Structure 1
Amino acid sequence: MKKTKVVFFAEILVEEHDGATRTMFQLIRRIPHADFEFLFICGVGPNTVYGFECMRLPTLTLPINKTYKMVLPALAAHSLREKLDSFNPDVVHIATPALLGEFAVKYARQRALPVISIYHTHFISYIDYYLKKAPFLIDFAKAKIISGQRAFYNQCDAIYVPSESMITELSDIGIESYRMKIWKRGIDTQLFSPAKRNSDMMRKLTGNKHPVILFASRLVWEKNLETLFGIYDGLKDRGVKFNMLIAGDGIARKACETRMPDAIFTGKVDHANLSILYASADVFLFPSVSETYGNVVPEAMASGLPCVIADGGGSKDFIEQGVNGFRCSAYMISDYVSKLELLLADERLQQQFSARGIVYSKTFGWDQLATSYFEDLLQLTGQSEETVPLKAIS
């Protein structure tokens, strides 16, 4: 049987860079080598990815977020086209609608190749944060992004979207609904588990017995950090005894340390250590509304950690209000503070949220999601619809 050839375009292919790359690698690690051949095109990444060639292109560091690189395919257009023509792909996977994505979709359309994409990043929600000092530009910038995303995604044959709320938002800006398919995210319930709880470690980290409120995320402004600061201040003003534990790093870390001087900052942590923090904290706080999915919320739930999150973005779909967690009005600091106070004072409610969250998290499985992805690749190329066997994972 002829192998299906997939060319996979992504700006960054570093496994632990962020939630989007972790999602991509969940698929990459499960590629059935007997049935598929992949070629990876990226700006930042290794020379090979799980045994497949990876071609790196010139990049530009973004001034508003130095942790990200924009790929400049025009600087290597000739060699890139030669590489693609030599590989002769059957289907094109595009991670994001940036310059690299625009090059990829144009190449695909010129050669009548099917295109699949995963909606990883809700860029529209970033504008309010990055243009807050130039509010007169916000509407213009949003209109440009919406126009660009509509044009890009309406050229894709299949778009994986992680939540119903995201499908609604994308339909509202003119992305054709028939192209979109609900494709959530998996959770490693062996890694994220209440069994990882380590009270002694947490006591050493905090130096006291006060309850621990955990925020785990990249420290960038689009994570609604101003609201996080307000919640910290509000709890302090109310005389609540608590530890604010911040797991993550980013361009806004210094501002976070200045605004929350008593908070405990771990810096960036790997998933093994993050699983211990989840299981050992008392509440997970997540005010971000910029998520398409928000991997950290189901990870916290799988760890038995009660969640108080924003009623916005894709993350809100995880929470049934008052049943397995609390959703709060996204920018209403008093709403978060009152719900955190209520939860911290009610042990039975904590136990309810924890138990319901664990049960809910068990419905997310990566193997099933990966099988669906590889089957969709075959369908896009008109090949067999039989289930694709997953590569064994060591």
Structure 2
Amino acid sequence: MATADTAGMNTSLRIALISETFPPEINGVANTLSHLTDGLRTRGHRVQLVRPRQNADPRGAQDDLLLIRGWPLPGYPGLQWGQSSLHKLLRSWRIQRPDVIYIATEGPLGLSALRAAGRLRIPVVSGFHTNFQQYSRHYGFNLLTRALTAYLRWFHNRTRMTLVPSASQLIALQRRGFERLQMLSRGVDSALFHPTKRSDDLRRSWGLDDQSIAVLHVGRLAAEKNLGLLCSSFRALQQTYPQRQLKLIVVGDGPQRASLQQQMPDAIFCGLQRGEELAAHYASGDLFVFPSLSETFGNVVLEALASGLGVVAFDQAAAAQHIRHGHNGALALDQDEQSFIEASLWLLAEPENLRRVRLNARRDAARQSWGAIVELFEQHLNAALLPPVELPAGRTQP
């Protein structure tokens, strides 16, 4: 149960965090949860992580880690669904009862955690990390979109609150009947992602010199990332500025990699990168092209800004929150591909455009620390411990 810490200032919570993905898996959800978990522990909280077992996990019980059997996620090699584990969770939480539960994913594991929490009357906060209802359209399951949206609404409306990472996401979910939404943005490690990580050796390996332009994309190479626009934007840059030496650099992996390599045979595909190597790839670029329309946030946008790149993205999620068009990046009108291409071209139209944008990008992104995000997360978890509020119709918040 919650106890006062040694300084007598804060309350130390016992928190259970449930997720079907976590490092060393590489994706925005895993990255975010790693920072939140580390930050909560640094602030004196006890965090039990509940997730599917990964290949690298040691055998045997571990403190603050409850491993569940996982099943491969179709279309996403290396990622898993967590098996429904109601009885295992009930046993664990009856022995060591959490003060509050945070559910980051809505799969079978998340659903069983929601049910276990309901039986034990433990308050639950949920996070809306992934637009799965949009993903279904990209994988040929259009008929499931409405049903999946209804399930997600049912799931999240049974928690004390749902945390969303961007204002655009909050508005979209409100319009679909999601209740009790609160903002929890994302931070960036501005010491890791820094312009000083630029590597001349890496750029030479790409065949570039100081005057060349590396057009960078970092992310999962999958259908929902709108990568056809990445290709058409790069071709437009080549056609408009034939005198410039441009090279497309793609960092990441996924089911569309082979198709992209066929479409863009001159591009350099660097595969998955982590840590310092990832930071060097960012900083060694010049433009960052991010055509995705399915993001709840888009951590890579902040990482690119912190690395001092000229970022072009649609005016939504992280880009809408952190980019001012013409000041620290270039924004395209939502859903307008021609506007996206024009925003990309603007960055190279005049040397001053890119120089100014890159300088301001680094300066602004450096202010977005994870420390402030973790503190707000802590406040939301504490708020969930308060008694439910009576609603006018006689209902109460769950």
How far the C-alpha of 1:193 sits from its partner, in A, is 1.4
Shift of the 343–315 alpha-carbon distance from structure 1 to 2, 3 Å rule, reads closer
Matching of residue 4 in structure 1 with residue 13 in structure 2: yes
Shift of the 317–382 alpha-carbon distance from structure 1 to 2, 3 Å rule, reads closer
Q: Following superposition of structure 1 onto structure 2, how do residues 167-178 of structure 1 map, counting pairs within 5 Å?
A: 167-176=170-179
> Residues of 1 paired with 2:43 and 2:352: CA distance?
51
How far the C-alpha of 1:274 sits from its partner, in A, is 1.9
How far the C-alpha of 1:329 sits from its partner, in A, is 4.0
How far the C-alpha of 1:261 sits from its partner, in A, is 0.6
How far the C-alpha of 1:313 sits from its partner, in A, is 4.3
Matching of residue 355 in structure 1 with residue 359 in structure 2: yes
> Residues of 2 paired with 1:34 and 1:224: CA distance?
39
> Residues of 1 paired with 2:58 and 2:384: CA distance?
28
Given that residues 188 and 302 in structure 2 are in contact (C-alpha distance below 8 angstroms), is that contact kept between their aligned partners in structure 1?
yes
Given that residues 312 and 344 in structure 2 are in contact (C-alpha distance below 8 angstroms), is that contact kept between their aligned partners in structure 1?
yes
The one of 218, 221, 227 aligned to 2:220: 218
> Residues of 2 paired with 1:24 and 1:15: CA distance?
12
Matching of residue 102 in structure 1 with residue 107 in structure 2: no
Given that residues 22 and 31 in structure 2 are in contact (C-alpha distance below 8 angstroms), is that contact kept between their aligned partners in structure 1?
no
Given that residues 86 and 115 in structure 2 are in contact (C-alpha distance below 8 angstroms), is that contact kept between their aligned partners in structure 1?
no
In structure 2, what is the equivalent of residue 189 of structure 1? 190
In structure 1, what is the equivalent of residue 72 of structure 2? 61
Given that residues 16 and 270 in structure 1 are in contact (C-alpha distance below 8 angstroms), is that contact kept between their aligned partners in structure 2?
no
Q: Following superposition of structure 1 onto structure 2, how do residues 126-165 of structure 1 map, counting pairs within 5 Å?
A: 126-131=135-140, 137-138=141-142, 140-165=143-168
Secondary structure class of the residue paired with 1:145: helix
> Residues of 1 paired with 2:241 and 2:372: CA distance?
47
Over aligned residues, Cα RMSD in angstroms? 2.4
TM-score (norm: length of structure 2): 0.86
Which whole-Å deviations, capped at 9, do the CAs of 1:88-113 have from their partners, x for residues lacking one? 22211101111111111111122221
Given that residues 194 and 279 in structure 2 are in contact (C-alpha distance below 8 angstroms), is that contact kept between their aligned partners in structure 1?
yes
TM-score (norm: length of structure 1): 0.87
Shift of the 181–332 alpha-carbon distance from structure 1 to 2, 3 Å rule, reads closer
In structure 1, what is the equivalent of residue 200 of structure 2? 199
How far the C-alpha of 1:257 sits from its partner, in A, is 0.9
Mean Cα deviation higher: 97-106 or 339-348: 339-348
Secondary structure class of the residue paired with 1:364: coil
2:193 counterpart letter in structure 1: F
Given that residues 186 and 369 in structure 1 are in contact (C-alpha distance below 8 angstroms), is that contact kept between their aligned partners in structure 2?
yes
In structure 2, what is the equivalent of residue 252 of structure 1? 256
Which whole-Å deviations, capped at 9, do the CAs of 1:143-196 have from their partners, x for residues lacking one? 1111011111111212221111111011011011xx222211111111111222
Q: Following superposition of structure 1 onto structure 2, how do residues 233-252 of structure 1 map, counting pairs within 5 Å?
A: 233-238=235-240, 240=242, 241-252=245-256
Which whole-Å deviations, capped at 9, do the CAs of 1:104-157 have from their partners, x for residues lacking one? 1111122221111222112222123111xxxxx52x322111101111111121
Mean Cα deviation higher: 271-280 or 249-258: 271-280
How far the C-alpha of 1:237 sits from its partner, in A, is 4.6
How far the C-alpha of 1:67 sits from its partner, in A, is 2.9
Given that residues 22 and 29 in structure 2 are in contact (C-alpha distance below 8 angstroms), is that contact kept between their aligned partners in structure 1?
no
Mean Cα deviation higher: 156-165 or 28-37: 28-37
Secondary structure class of the residue paired with 1:186: coil
1:65 counterpart letter in structure 2: Y
- Any stretches of 5+ residues in structure 1 without a counterpart? 132-136, 384-394
Given that residues 25 and 79 in structure 2 are in contact (C-alpha distance below 8 angstroms), is that contact kept between their aligned partners in structure 1?
no
2:69 counterpart letter in structure 1: P
> Residues of 1 paired with 2:240 and 2:136: CA distance?
32
- Any stretches of 5+ residues in structure 2 without a counterpart? 5-11, 388-398
Matching of residue 112 in structure 1 with residue 124 in structure 2: no
1:18 counterpart letter in structure 2: N
Mean Cα deviation higher: 35-44 or 162-171: 35-44
Matching of residue 273 in structure 1 with residue 265 in structure 2: no
> Residues of 2 paired with 1:228 and 1:67: CA distance?
24
Secondary structure class of the residue paired with 2:80: strand
